[in-house]
Chains A and B, each alone.
Chain A
Amino acid sequence: MAIEYLGLSNINGPLVVLEGLQDAFFDEIVEFVIDGNKRKMGRIVELNDDKAVIQVFEGTENMSLTNTHTKLSGHPMEVAVSPDMLGRTFNGVGEPIDGLGSLFSTDKRDINGLPLNPVRREYPRNYIRTGISAIDGLTTLIRGQKLPIFSGNGLPHDQLAAQIVKQASLGDNSEEEFAIVFAAMGVKHDVADFFRKTFEESGVSDHVCMFLNLANDPVVERLITPKVALTVAEYLAFECDKHILVILTDMTSFAEAMREVSSSRGEIPSRKGYPGYLYSELATIYERAGIVQGAKGSVTQLPILTMPNDDITHPIPDLTGYITEGQVVLDRNLQGQGIYPPISVLPSLSRLMKDGIGEGYTRDDHQDLANQLFSSYAKVGEARNLASVIGEDELSDLDKKYLEFGREFEKRYVGQGMAENRTIQDTLDLGWELLEILPREELDRIDTKIIEKYRKEPSDGSKGISDER
């Protein structure tokens, strides 16, 4: 029988201090009972002899120095796992909230997980077709990758994530089992509802396991939510052989929660008040994507984060970019022009793309074509800058062609319908079609043989010599 401790010695924000503990260990989960009826959970975050600093998940409201009974659980934070979790909804710490009763499983996992040994990882090579040209063509998503969406408030990141889920899940690999783990951290009710509705409409909801910590739920709980979700994802992937797509939204709320707790612990802040371990903490989440040798399943992560003030150099997107394998960046300017999805192509990147495309995966021209589109679109920016100084009329013919290419590229290649599901062939062919706007000499990133194979001669006779730039 575990000892119960009565009272607390200090309450400060989400943290409480308890003295006189016996045999507590670091990272242990404790259970509080307040006024004899209300249960809360907490985690030991610092130990000094018999004195523990405890993080309370559900918030410290109602707790007083005298009305609380505390019990040590004897284990670190764990979550019960079972294949039946698909189709269910849980709160941020993994308790069912969908009214379908509790989960019957004795199989429990430590939510902190363990680092995956690089020698037992399998290098991801299978691409996932999302049906979105800007992603499939230029920042290809690979199974086992972690590819975040860098967005801002008011941008359609939710719609984009939902479209990816819909179209990727209904892909060609029908014989393989596909499932989604969705973790919401500090998101609005509407957002959670939007995702729930989308899952229902597209008929995937019995393949979805949702963890919801909404904006008005306790802040500390948010620190646990992604870990619980990923523990379940790893279980489903590596033990139940499913291909799991994990959507984490919004990582910014997670980092904010960390800052809040860190500051009430009186820790020394580093950048913008975030704790020094922000990088390590984000890494323990993002690195839990991947494929284990010999396992049939995989964990692919699609975290969403809103960049505060659209600033990509803010610590959260910055540190994320250093851990994840690329990023898809959304742009307010494109959104303003009514282009959906407003993917800003140039800063977007998929690091694993190079090994998952080309012959045998997509098509032999994919890499060169993508490079050429990037390079040509970068030149569009230069031409636009010049046009804004000297006026579009004064530009050379070549620069005018670049402006035209830029407009068409944004409208037709980046832009597409919310339900439009393009095949990889369509995406690649569209790329070639757009490049026909430019004279052939400008295609300096593509192997001559590939140009010959795929380029149709333009009809308007713009084959001639380009003018001075």
Chain B
Amino acid sequence: MSIRNSCSEEVWALDSKNTGVIYGINGPVIYLKGKSSFRMSEMVYVGKEKLVGEVISLDKDRTTIQVYEETSGLRPGEKVESSGAPVSVTLAPGILNNIFDGIERPLERIADTGGAFIARGVSVDSLDTEKLWQTHLTVAKGDLVHGGAIIAEVPETRAIVHKCMVPPDVESAEVVEVVPDGEYTIRDVLVKVQLPDGQIRELTMTQKWPIRVARPVSQRYPASIPLVTGQRILDTMFPIAKGGTAAIPGGFGTGKTMTQHQIAKWSDADIIIYIGCGERGNEMTQVLEEFGELIDPKSGNPLMDRTTLIANTSNMPVAAREASIYTGLTLAEYYRDMGYDVAIMADSTSRWAEALRELSGRLEEMPAEEGFPAYLASRLSAFYERAGMMQTLNGASGSVSIIGAVSPQGGDFSEPVTQNTKRFVRCFWGLDKSLAYARHFPAIHWLTSYSEYTMELSAWYADHVSPKFVDYRNRLMGLLSQENNLMEIVKLIGADVLPDDQKLVLEIARVIRLGFLQQNAFHKDDTCVSMEKQFKMMDVILYLYRKSRKLVAMGHPMSLLKAEGIFEKVIAVKYDVPNDNLQMLDMYKQDIDDFYNRILEKNA
């Protein structure tokens, strides 16, 4: 049926203007009768209003097109025009600090021309073609260049330098003409190159790239550097590598969006692409507002300077929702090719899967599990495999990390989207309803979640944080899993009858849960925590455990230990120790020693 990934790599020439006539209309899907010369995945303009559509299936009797806009008002007999190119995005300066719809139309411009509500058939350029950019050329006449080579640099925002590149389809060429440094628009010719066959090709800042095709790279590197997010449960317990993939599944209200926002705000990626796929309009507005005000701790500039938003809210057309994921991914790959570390927040991939299901239903395809089309798994795998730490065509290294939220039906992780996603991601941050109900945030459950990167990243942790880091982390996990086993007993007979050493495990696990895993996104010191503080916090907690265990082994009852209030004090470390004064943490060990000696004295 509709196989959309098979489109050819080069952007087709604009010469062939095919047309057709609408025969049937069913929601976002329209049919053309008879054999046509449209191509698979080609972008077409439908009807008088020139709605954007894409060819999704061709056979000798009919052509099927999905329309990215509301189809009400279309009539059979109206014309369908080809664009000569697959559905593509425009790549040039101006992408950052911007908000686009699912097919890269700038929402700000749409609002300027059409008002507060998004009308149909709006025709605006993806990027500002008139803005003059301060451009510095990095090639000279006579240079040999190839696909991916950097020809010019443009300070796109205060934080990011945009590197204009030779399109990847150019094998090798000689620079024959270069403009001087100065101000240029994205349409101005900057460099002329001569191809091996003698043809002259003009290069501007702009590239076009089909959204469903991955941009080429030289090679893939193994994961070795973590994407540091400042969130303790992620960085310490279930880390994601730069170029890695993670899924955040959770029922509604468990904090998927909040977790994504936190990562988008505080992670050490260079660029964030935030895809609001079928989510709430108010949430996108919130991101816009908040990210415009928040300051990136790394660069000191507003967060929007490194962020692009793709907003296809749930009431926007469903076909564009399906495309929005690929649009975001292609933008991310483009920045990766410049050598940046890009992180994609896809919120939510379930909406994308449901868009697939909806379109598949309209096409009357045979449904597989729960009505989803049989190609769901292959689409998901193709999507997540576009992530990775790569050597780009120009030899730099850059990465695309994908963090996808999954909204399982009824919060049940056995449904097809969660299960298939689990097969292709290497981090699984399972959100838990009961934690969310108790307002334990982030509600990532430590027992159902996992990260396959822990091993690969251990060398980095040893070098950059502490050689003991991985050991400490494992001990924390061990205590939490012991707690889980003990809770089985406690549920049946209560905690009173447990021996004191087991009571201590429960108490320490409580300290870990409340003092370490729980993190307050609204507290200025707790919202983002450095690796150093994370390590030291673990250190203090484990020190407390060691000392307490000694006391318990000597026969001091737990009730006595708890009376000292030291456990509460350690839980409050996250609030009491400011991020710029980590030496304070060392004083806690002193406090624990005092507590130890006090108990010994009192009960000697």
Chain A interface (Cβ < 8 Å from any Cβ of B): 23-28, 46-50, 76, 112-124, 144-145, 238, 267-271, 275-277, 279-280, 283-284, 286-288, 290, 292-295, 312-315, 318, 321-323, 325-327, 346-347, 349, 351-352, 354-355, 367, 371, 374-375, 378-379, 385-386, 389-390, 394-396, 399, 441, 444-445, 447-448, 465-469
Contact = CB atoms under 8 A, between A and B. Distances in A.
Contacts of A466: 562
B438 A379 contact: yes
A468 B392 CA distance: 59
A352 B495 CA distance: 38
B314 A268 contact: no
B285 interface: yes
Interface string B558-571: 11001101001001
B282 A271 contact: no
B423 interface: no
A118 B558 contact: no
Contact of A119 (B251, B288, B411): B288
Interface stretch (B69-77, B180-188, B326-334, B463-471): B69-77
B314 A280 contact: yes
Contacts of A354: 522
Scoring A76, A122, A283 by chain B CB atoms within 10 A of each residue's CB, the highest score goes to A283
B526 to A, nearest CB: 11
B72 A117 contact: no
Given A114-B118, A118-B313, A444-B571, A367 B522 contact: yes
A371 B439 CA distance: 6
A375 B286 contact: no
Given A117-B116, A321-B252, A49 B76 contact: yes
Interface in B52-86: 70-77
B282 A48 contact: no
Contacts of A444: 514, 568, 571
A351 B409 CA distance: 19
Interface string B269-300: 00000001010111011101100000000000
A232 to B, nearest CB: 16
Contacts of B284: 118, 121
B318 A47 contact: no
B311 interface: yes
Contacts of B362: 276
B496 interface: yes
Contacts of A293: 116
A268 B364 contact: yes
Nearest to A394: B494
12 contacts: A49-B33, A117-B116, A118-B313, A119-B107, A122-B285, A277-B318, A277-B358, A279-B314, A284-B315, A325-B280, A374-B437, A379-B438
A118 B73 contact: no
A283 B72 contact: no
B314 A283 contact: yes
Contacts of A25: 72-75
Interface stretch (B21-29, B137-145, B546-554): B21-29
Nearest to A441: B568
Contacts of B410: 312-314, 318
B409 A318 contact: yes
A115 B316 contact: yes
A21 to B, nearest CB: 9
A267 B281 contact: no
A386 B492 CA distance: 7
A76 B71 CA distance: 11
Nearest to B358: A276
B24 A119 contact: no
B313 A390 contact: no
A116 B280 contact: no
Nearest to A344: B437
B503 interface: yes
Contact of B351 (A23, A279, A287, A371): A279
Given A118-B107, A283-B314, A386-B491, 20 more contacts: A47-B24, A47-B25, A49-B24, A115-B315, A116-B117, A116-B315, A118-B99, A118-B281, A118-B284, A145-B282, A238-B116, A268-B364, A283-B313, A286-B314, A287-B281, A287-B314, A321-B252, A395-B494, A465-B563, A468-B496
For chain B, the bracket of interface size reads: 35 or more
Given A465-B559, A465-B562, A374 B318 contact: no
Given A49-B24, A118-B288, A468 B503 contact: yes
Contact of B411 (A313, A315, A355, A378): A313
B196 to A, nearest CB: 46
B23 A49 contact: yes
A267 B491 contact: no
B367 interface: yes
A293 B434 CA distance: 37
B111 interface: yes
Contacts of A385: 491
Q: What are the 6 tightest A-B residue pairs by CB atom distance, in nearest-first order?
A: A313-B410, A270-B371, A27-B72, A283-B314, A378-B438, A321-B252
A25 to B, nearest CB: 4
Contacts of A352: 282
Nearest to A121: B285
Contact of B281 (A268, A277, A290, A395): A290
Contact of B439 (A113, A268, A374, A394): A374
B439 A121 contact: no
B315 A386 contact: no
Contact of A116 (B24, B73, B108, B281): B281
Nearest to A120: B116
Interface in B95-117: 99, 107-108, 110-111, 115-117
B403 to A, nearest CB: 18
A319 B573 CA distance: 40
Contacts of A396: 494-496
Contacts of A114: 70, 117-120
A389 B116 contact: no
B357 A276 contact: yes
Nearest to B285: A121
Nearest to B120: A114
A283 B315 contact: yes
Contacts of A445: 439
B163 interface: no
A394 B119 CA distance: 66
A119 B105 CA distance: 13
A390 B33 CA distance: 73
Contacts of B372: 270
Contact of A270 (B74, B357, B491): B357
A313 B409 contact: yes
Nearest to B521: A354
Nearest to B289: A123
A318 B465 CA distance: 43
Contacts of B253: 321, 326-327, 347, 349, 351
B75 A24 contact: yes
Interface in B385-422: 407, 409-412
A23 to B, nearest CB: 6
Contacts of A119: 99, 107-108, 111, 285, 288
Contacts of A124: 282
Contact of A48 (B76, B433, B493): B76
Contacts of A49: 23-24, 33, 76
